Chains A and B, each alone.
Chain A
Amino acid sequence: MKNPTEEVQGMAEDRYWNPILERLPQERLKELQFKKFKRTISWAYENSPFYRRLYREAGIEPGDIRSLEDIKRVPKIEKGMLREVQQRDPFPYGDILAVPIEEVTTFRQTSGTTGTPVYQAETWEDWELWSEWWAYILYAQGYRKTDRVFLPFGYNIFVAFWAAHYAAEKIGCEVIPGGVLDTQARILKMKELRCSAFMATPTYVLGMAETATKMGIDPKEIGIRRITCAGEPGASIPSTKKRIEERWGCRVFDHVGATEIGAWGFECEESPYMLHINEAFFLVEIEDMETGEPIEEPNRPGKMIITTFDRLAKPCIRFDSKDVIKWADHQCACGRSFRLLDGGVIGRADDITKVKGVLLAPSAIEEVVRGVGELSDEFEVIVTKKGDIDDITLKIEIRPEYETKRDEILKRLQTELRIKTNLGYNIEVHPYHSLPRYDVKAKRFKDLRKHS
């Protein structure tokens, strides 16, 4: 922290990055979204051959959109289409590009977790939007100019925390890029410089705590006051969030975003396990996963269809993200009118799989495993077939100090898993620290049924 005495004053005086937009009544917000949607679809239709082709084939023009209801008639796009269009000119983005190629100033790409990476073109204006979206996130999570922020990530072709870096600078924080340092060096640098905040995937945040402990440093001694997580749902999973908060002795916040979409949602200081959608810049619709019927009521999960407003180089209009979300049943006490999602991103429509006839979301297993304090942070789930029957194995590690309680721990774990997921598991206990560790996004769920 740069100046600890300033923080309290700052927090009390100002709460919103943009008090006009963040407190706009919902009906006004909807009018604003409609105006922005019209402008965004017109831009895409006029400048992107991909979108023009898509809309012409569907028999729709921007002028046909006369109300928010009409938006549902606009064809959706999905990741496969974004990959396919990259085969066309101009290289390497394809004709979805809505600006001349010489206007593109930044290249990013998706991580490729679900297939061929999607290339993302950004203009200067687009990049300004990225840092603006992130400024809303960081401000809502209490970042101020008094913060010294460490960024322990690889500064590479993935969007990751690039925009967080620029947003933190925009807010006035002092930003320390922890690029090519290894985990030990990052911990030492954070301690040396008395950093007050950092950002990483939940997996890496836990891994850093483990490394610090091995180095003889209690993470709590470093003085971190807040951590912002991204890339995985962990910070919205109660048991994982609790683990991180206990290890680091600070508040942990979630944020959600994607390369193709932008940084569209964030947790604020008032509503843990909930995410605000930044409705000034994004339009989120929830659809029933089977029927496609719109879902407006709270507590009913569906998949997210999202539009980003005013992105120039590569517009993102009604993108089927496959993220599973549900509306919360209340407004946030923070005073923002932006709607809340209960539990953040609950899972992905293409991750939820049937095992022994039961629908299983990997995040449900994480919640149980991370809720058993005697287990380490790592685990792995492997689904195979034995003959015609699904078989599910959970690999875990027991912390050395609890080895003597192994039978009791396994019994409790099996019961909790049964309650939470309605499934029985083969549980394998592996030596402490033998399961794979991950620096960025973890791959803990492996469905091998198609290959066995």
Chain B
Amino acid sequence: MTPKTLFDKIWDSHVIRSIEGGPEVLYIDQHYIHEVTSPQAFDGLRARGIPVFRPNKTLATADHNIPTIDQHLPIRDELSRNQVNRLAENCREYNIEYFGLNHPKNGIVHVIGPELGYTLPGMTIVCGDSHTSTHGAFGTIAFGIGTSEVEMVLATQCIIQTRPKTMRIKVNGRRGKGVTAKDMILYIISQISSGGATGYFVEFAGPAVTALSMDERMTVCNMSIEMGARGGLIAPDHTTYEYLNKIPAVESRPDFKSMLLRWRILKSDEGAVFDRELEFDASKIKPMITFGTNPGMGMGIDETIPEGDNTSSFSKSLEYMGIRPGMKLLGHPVDYVFVGSCTNGRIDDLRSFVKMVKGRKKAPGITALIVPGSKRVEQQAINEGIAEALKLAGFELRQPGCSSCLAMNDDKIPAGKYAISTSNRNFEGRQGPGARTILASPLTAAAAAVTGRITDPRELLND
């Protein structure tokens, strides 16, 4: 048999029909929805007078448009409140499982799907959200879709897609001290640019990738979209199975053992051909920060802002950020620190932040937003003493949600202010109109939070 890539194995087993001239009808195993990109899809079903085809294959949560304090109170903003209420009504009407505000399983869609055991290896997964690529960490084909496609999945459990090309990115060697999964993916994006993987589905492989924990793998796959990739995935291995084994809903399934056997084929065969292959050396990666207004504009924390390519896009970007080529950002004052999002809002991320701030104090003038990715992460942070340690250092753990990553709620960064953020996008106005975002790891964010400036986390690490 011809050797196949992991991507092709999963894709091929989900194709229901190939349409003449290109696209294929793809069956979707798991569909996630949230309040922002679903209401118009439900309206579409109503206009056609059709039901949801497989309600038990869709899971709903409210995350984008919710406050991260006082979640027991009604949402103040009328439009936001209405949007969240609409999701609850739609789920009731169409019999879809919904984890709304205050539900003990509520959280960011890409945090709860994996932690509750809905995301499993070998699945096809979609959601009206570009960071659906996160679920690829479990060896799934997971990608973001638009609202018209959400309607397709609700109506038929299928979508029509053109098969993307395949790319393998191998990361060899070992990461240095203070270098996290976030730095690894920011480094890769800085090397290939924010459009460098457009049209491709990426498999991440190599020793530096297999060494990552599941939380770290999710950070890497989450940002595949930031290099333009349709999605990113990592072959499941013992790390994946150990993680799943700890989820009661998965471990207690009568078919868990037979699933484990089936998942063994979920790897790219020896000799499988990719449309493109890239290799990087983990030991060359430093703690990373971005300096511009797309995630491809990143550099090592101690490096100098490059001269750029002379385009108006590049100079517009630097002007927006209030910086110039030739400058260093190391030592640059910071106003806000945001830790959270589907990129870095998991327990590993909070642990990493706390490790750095423990025994130190929040720097004067810093406003910090520390936002857990889900109710479960919040509860775990309380149980592990993370919430308490944060308090001692002058920080406060908020309630879960997407928060300042896209600032649909009140968690906005004011115009002109510099925010070091563990989220995924440094686009103009992403964290609020005029806000200046510097993307970094939770460790680098912590170093800035206690010094008030962009600081190399390696200088503050003791062990």
Bound together: no
